[in-house]
């Protein structure tokens, strides 16, 4: 009797036929378990790589796509404004590559994201050290 009540209540919730609640729960649990195992095997996602290019451009290599990084958005890095020049696709562990160029003076902000990477300061310090030598 209890199983029937659970199945009846679960049907409308899962948008499934009444007797399939246990099957839906099984597959959801199985999916969550396999995702967890895959995360443990692959480890944490790789940190972004930032490369300084000529003409004050920046190449950002990322393990995950940057949501919203399109040509219409302005990206702030260390007080400077950049826009996406183009996006490239590469091999893992950094399949998403974004080339940023300085935003033109007087650009109207349609969208803005501040980009902070832990190793960005290190890259900027290396660039400054290279300029001194």
Tokens of 40: 């443990």
Could you tell me which residues come within 8 angstroms of residue 9 by beta carbon, excluding any fewer than 6 positions away? none
The per-residue pLDDT for range 43-102, each reduced to its tens digit, is 677 788 999 999 999 999 998 888 888 888 999 988 899 999 999 999 888 899 999 999
How confident is the model at residue 108, as a pLDDT? Answer: 84
Sheet of 57-62, strand order:
49-53, 57-62, 96-102, 80-89, 74-77, 112-114
Give pLDDT, residue 122. 47
Confidence at residue 59, expressed as pLDDT on a 0 to 100 scale: 94
- pLDDT of residue 33 exceeding 80: yes
Helical ranges in the chain per DSSP H:
2-14, 21-42, 120-132
- For the cut 70, the answer to whether the pLDDT of residue 112 exceeds it is yes
Are residues 120 and 78 in contact, defined by beta-carbon separation less than 8 angstroms? yes
């Amino acid at each position: 009797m209890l199983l029937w009540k659970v199945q009846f209540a679960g049907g409308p919730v899962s948008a499934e036929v009444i007797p399939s609640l246990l099957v839906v729960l099984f597959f959801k649990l199985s999916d969550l378990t396999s995702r967890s195992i895959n995360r443990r095997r692959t480890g944490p996602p790789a940190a972004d790589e930032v490369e300084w290019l000529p003409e004050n451009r920046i190449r950002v290599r990322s393990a995950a796509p940057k949501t919203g990084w399109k040509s219409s958005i302005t990206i702030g890095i260390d007080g400077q404004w950049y826009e996406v020049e183009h996006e490239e696709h590469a091999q893992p562990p950094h399949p998403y590559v974004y080339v940023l160029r300085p935003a033109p003076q007087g650009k109207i902000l349609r969208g803005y994201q501040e980009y902070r990477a832990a190793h960005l300061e290190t890259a900027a310090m290396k660039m400054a050290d290279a300029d001194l030598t």
